[in-house]
Amino acid sequence: MLISCPFCGEREVAEFEFRCTLEERGATAAERLYFRLADPRRSLEHWQHVRGCRMWLELHRDLRTGRVLRTASVPVPPADGTGS
């Protein structure tokens, strides 16, 4: 499988590490940490390009076919949110 890293281009999946699926569900923080209701046709996932640029990516994948539908770097917040 090839993943198209927005920074490095198409690289083999062995360079990346999957972390978790998104689509958390639950009334409490504890539940949301664990429970998922993900659509396998469009699984939203966080991956890291560990053996490359080490950036974090959000992937949309179709689990039934294994195809990567969309790759994006993890969203950056709008400009007015920076600084402490």
Partner 1 sequence: MGAYSAFGLLREAIRGPRAWQPLWERRAPEAAYDVVIVGGGGHGLATAYHLARHFGLRRVAVLERTLIGYGNVGRNTTIVRSNYLLPENQHFYEDALRRWRSLGRELNYNIMFSPRGVLDLATSDDQLAACARRGNAMRLAGIDAELLDRAAVGRFARALDCGAVRQFPIHGGLLQRRGGTVRHDAVAWGYARAAARLGVHIIEQCEVLGVVRVAGRIAGVETSRGTIAAERVGIAVAGGTAELARRLGIALPLETHLLQAGVTEPVKPMLDRVLIYMFPHGGEVYVSQSDRGGLVFGGMLDGYPSMTQRGEITRVRDVAAALTSLLPQVKQLRLLRHWAGMNDMTMDGSPIIDRIGGDELYLNGGWCYGGFKATPASGYAFAELIARGRASELIRAFRLSRFASGHLLDESGAGPFPSRQ
Partner 2 sequence: MTARFRNPTGGSVDRSRTCRFTFDRQSLRGFAGDTLASALLANGVHLIGRSTKCRRPRGIFTAGPEEPNALGTLDPGDRQIPNVPLTVAPLADGLVFASQNRWPSLRFDLSSIAGVAGARFGAGFYYKTFMWPAWRWYEPLIRGLAGLGCAPKIGVDRPPRERHLDCDVLVVGGGAAGLSAARAAASRGAKVVLCEQDSSLGGELQFETATIDGRASSRWLIDSERELRVAGVELLTGTAVVGCYDDLLLALCQPAGYPGEADELLHIRAAARVLATGATERAIAFAGNDRPGVMLLGAVERFAARFAVRAGNEAVLFANHDRVYCAAQRLREAGIRIAAIVDPRARPELAVLEELERGGVRICNEQVVEQVLGGHRVSGVIVRHRDGVGTPTRISCDVLGASGGWTPALQLATQSGLAQRYDAQLGAFIPVSESATVIPAGAARGKLELAAALADGTAAGAVAATAAGRDAAPAERPALVSADPAPAVMPFWRVVGGDEKRQFVDLQNDVTVSDLRQAVAEGFREIEHVKRYTALGVGTDQGKTSGLPGAAILAEFLGKPLAEVGVSRPRPPTRPIPLGVLAGFRGAPGTVRPVRHTPLQADHVADGALMEPAGLWLRPRYYRDHGESLAAAAEFEAQRVRAAGGLFDASTLGKIEVAGPDAAAFLDRIYLARPSGIGIGRARYCVMLREDGMVLDDGLVLRLAAQHFLLTTSTHAAAAVLSHLEYHAACSAAELAVSCTDVTDAWAVIVVAGPRTRQLLRKVLPPAQWREPLEQLRHMDFHCGKWQSRPLRLLRASFSGELAYELHCAADAAPPLWRALRRHGAPDGVIPYGLEALDILRVEKGYLTSAEINGQVSPYDLRLDDMVKRSAPCIGSGLLARPALHEPSRPILVGLVAADATARLDAGAQLIAAARSTQSLGHVTSAVWSPALGRAVGLALLAREFAAHDREVVAADPLRARYTKARVTAAVHFDPTGERMRL
- Contact residues toward partner 1 (CB under 8 A) are 1, 12-14, 17-21, 25-26, 28, 30-31, 33-40, 43, 45, 47, 61, 63-66
Nearest to 59 by CA among 10, 8, 1, 18: 18
Amino acid letter for position 79: A
Nearer to partner 2, 35 or 56 (CB): 56
63 binds, among partner 2, partner 1, none (CB under 5 to 8 A by kind): partner 1
Nearer to partner 2, 27 or 29 (CB): 29
CA gap 21, 51 in Å, rounded = 21
